[in-house]
Amino acid sequence: MPELPEVETVRRGLAPVMEGARVASVELRRTGLRFPFEEGFAERIAGRRIEALGRRAKYLVARLEGDLLLAMHLGMSGSFRIESPSGAGAVETPGAFHHPRSEDRLHDHVLFHLASDAAPPARIVFNDPRRFGYMTLIRAAEMDAHPHFKGLGVEPVGDALSAEHLAPLFAGRLAPLKAVLLDQRVIAGLGNIYVCEALWRAKLHPARAAGTLVTKSGRPSAKLAELTRHIRETIADAIHAGGSTLKDYRQADGSLGYFQHSFSVYDREGEPCPRLDCSGTVERIVQSGRSTFYCPRCQR
């Protein structure tokens, strides 16, 4: 499943083409993806201007004129491709993922035909071999109550994520720190790779009880403040680098993202801890069915 930095990379690649353009038509080549398309899906989008392309957690959210939102999830194998209507010229697939995206046109399931006064016509193609992605239309005023968005926590970017915000969510909790950080009701969009990396940066053990980062008076400890800072910095660094790109996936401009070369512990089992003053070795444990990589010497 793509993590937040990968989805944000996709958003930044698509935004220059989609924002301000009008959807001339929508071509559906299936009746649905993970879920069926709602009745009138294509017709409700066609003719509307795309006012903005945003992101909430791991969802892309296109704000269409007329107070309508198009929410899109990439699932496990979904990707967007930017191309000219004729198929000629440069073809871009914005994003950077753990697994490379498909280039097989047989898996092109949704095509957005765009028209713009400021640029040549373009086509945005959604390709998804495993069909775990999905799209839905939501009235803007109803977004926070929608099942896909209801109860989502704070974003791990910007000023909203703070130790003061997390303290009451951590207080009294005996659950492992990593499990709490992966809870989308606590922090929206934070995934396995970047939790491992942030915990290493903060020198915190992934199995440590989350409540130990809050004082008896309910105030955030210095360690929680450090963790919050490292979460934000880890995500920011990954977005700047273009995501994980653990294979050979490319961004919108054709360049590779290189955050994977900065991984300190993720997928580095048996390697020396890269911290200069640490002589530990990276280990892997399984928590809730997922691999956790950490240094048992410097993470406490």
| Predicted TM-score (pTM) of this structure | 0.86
Contacts of 182 by beta carbon, 8 Å cutoff, 6+ apart: 190, 191, 192, 195, 288
pLDDT band at 253 (very low <50, low <70, confident <90, very high): very low
Instruction: Note if 38 is an active site residue.
Output: no
Q: Do 4-145 and 163-294 have matching folds?
A: no
Give me the mean pLDDT over the 109-115 stretch.
95
Q: Find the catalytic residue in 22, 131, 290, 297.
A: 290
CATH class (in words) of the domain with range 4-145: alpha beta
CATH class (in words) of the domain with range 163-294: mainly alpha
Q: 246 pLDDT exceeds 60?
A: no
- HSE, CB side, 13 Å, CA atoms: give it for residue 30: 19
Domain boundaries, the chain: 4-145, 163-294
pLDDT value at residue 95: 60
Instruction: Note if 290 is an active site residue.
Output: yes
Lowest mean pLDDT among 77-86, 96-105, 218-227, 289-298: 96-105
Instruction: Note if 296 is an active site residue.
Output: no
Q: Find the catalytic residue in 11, 55, 56, 58.
A: 58
Q: In 106-158, which ranges are E strands? A: 108-115, 122-127, 134-139
- The Cα angle at residue 270 between residues 7 and 298, in degrees rounded to 5: 80
pLDDT value at residue 247: 44
